[in-house]
């Protein structure tokens, strides 16, 4: 599937089929994630593949908008290292965008979970104090077909040469 | 081109052909950028398309590793709004990763410029005080074929169920 098509058609997925995602597909997606660029090629990311019900349930309780974490067959926790890159949030976000696009190409849906009690979630996952839990990403075969979310028109967010200048 | 192929083969490009990039291609790439997900669909991003030599030269001088900014036919400045999204760096990074992948599919190279004197660059571009200049991205047809950068092996950065746990 073309990049352009996947970028435009990918949706955040919050309902998943009760169908397993094979390990080799999960690893293929994480392999795509690690090809993101990063500040000075620091690659400040690590991933935890979570399948255990008990852990997923705990994470779901810690994420304000993440009730559906418990219902995804797989959850990927993305950990970044502020000591390895001052831009670890940005580097990590590029890797996760890769992950979400690669997943969609394989027929798999994801959703970025941003709001959670990070300190408690780090405890649940045994993540050391000095590392950052960027996001937990539920992953699975979609059981919904969400409508495209609204988008600001391109001409409202593009300027020429100078901020606010509308055309040449 | 498949997402997987573009993700793996995309390289940061610092040498560009002296060949123009048509406006419709630039807009197509920015259109892909704005389909990134964002916190509460805030879409906290705006873009400035820069072609004027004088402005590119000023930006090149303000970016420590960005001497080649002046030599790209187009430079895209990416502006995010911290008031629209507490996660504006992350949302913006997802949009830029889309931008870089969409560009590569069209045969165009980019490079994330992160280190620069942001306050002065914002002045050059007329960006209001309350907004953040996330990156300036040179864009053009590649005049180099960089080797793939080194990558940490997947098995060193993937854990199972718990941070540090190596397999099931």
Separation CA A3–CA B148 (nearest Å): 20
CB B78 within 8 A of CB B50: no
Residue B164 in tokens: 């540090």
What does chain A come to in residues?
168
Here the ipTM equals 0.97
Residue B79 has pLDDT above 70, yes or no: yes
| Mean pLDDT, residues B110-117 | 97
Q: Report the pLDDT value the prediction gives residue A13, as an integer from 0 to 100.
A: 98
**Mean pLDDT score, A128-137:** 98
Among candidates A45, A149, A163 on the partner chain, residue whose Cβ is nearest the Cβ of B127: A163
Determine the distance in angstroms separating the CA of A157 from the nearest CA of chain B, rounded to an integer: 5
In this prediction, residue B168 carries a pLDDT of 64
For each of the domains in chain B, give its residue range(s) and CATH number, in order of start: 3-157 (3.40.109.10)
Half-sphere exposure of B92 (CA within 13 A, CB side): 30
- What does the DSSP 8-state code read for residue A142? B
Task: List, for residues A36-63, the tens digit of each pLDDT value.
Answer: 999 999 999 999 999 999 999 999 999 9
What are B139's strand-pairing partners?
B74, B110
Do B50 and A161 lie within an 8 Å CB cutoff?
A: yes
C-alpha count within 13 angstroms, C-beta hemisphere, residue A9: 15
Band (pLDDT 50/70/90 cuts) for residue A168 is low
Q: What pLDDT does residue B167 have?
A: 83
Candidates A50, A112, A164; nearest CB to B161:
A50
The pLDDT tens digits of the residues spanning B117-143 come to 999 999 999 999 999 999 999 999 999
Tell me the chain B residues in contact with residue A10 when contact means C-beta distances shorter than 8 Å: 35
Torsion region of A40: left, alpha or beta (phi above 0 gives left; psi -120 to 50 gives alpha): left
**pLDDT tens digits along B154-168:** 999 999 999 999 986
């Amino acid at each position: 599937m073309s990049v352009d098509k996947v970028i435009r058609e990918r949706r955040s997925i919050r309902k998943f089929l009760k169908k397993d995602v094979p390990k080799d597909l999960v690893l293929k997606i994480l392999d795509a994630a690690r090809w993101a660029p990063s500040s000075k090629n620091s690659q400040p990311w690590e991933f935890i593949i979570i399948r255990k019900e008990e852990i997923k349930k705990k994470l779901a309780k810690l994420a304000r908008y993440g009730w559906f974490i418990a219902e995804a067959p797989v959850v990927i926790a993305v950990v970044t290292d502020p000591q390895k890159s001052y831009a670890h949030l940005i580097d990590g976000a590029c890797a996760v965008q890769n992950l979400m696009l690669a997943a969609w190409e394989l027929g798999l849906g994801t959703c970025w979970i941003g709001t959670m009690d990070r300190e408690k979630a780090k405890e649940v996952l045994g993540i050391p104090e000095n590392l950052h839990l960027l996001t937990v990403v539920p992953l699975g075969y979609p059981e919904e077909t969400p409508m495209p979310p609204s988008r600001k028109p391109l001409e409202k967010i593009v300027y020429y040469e100078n901020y606010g200048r509308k055309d040449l």
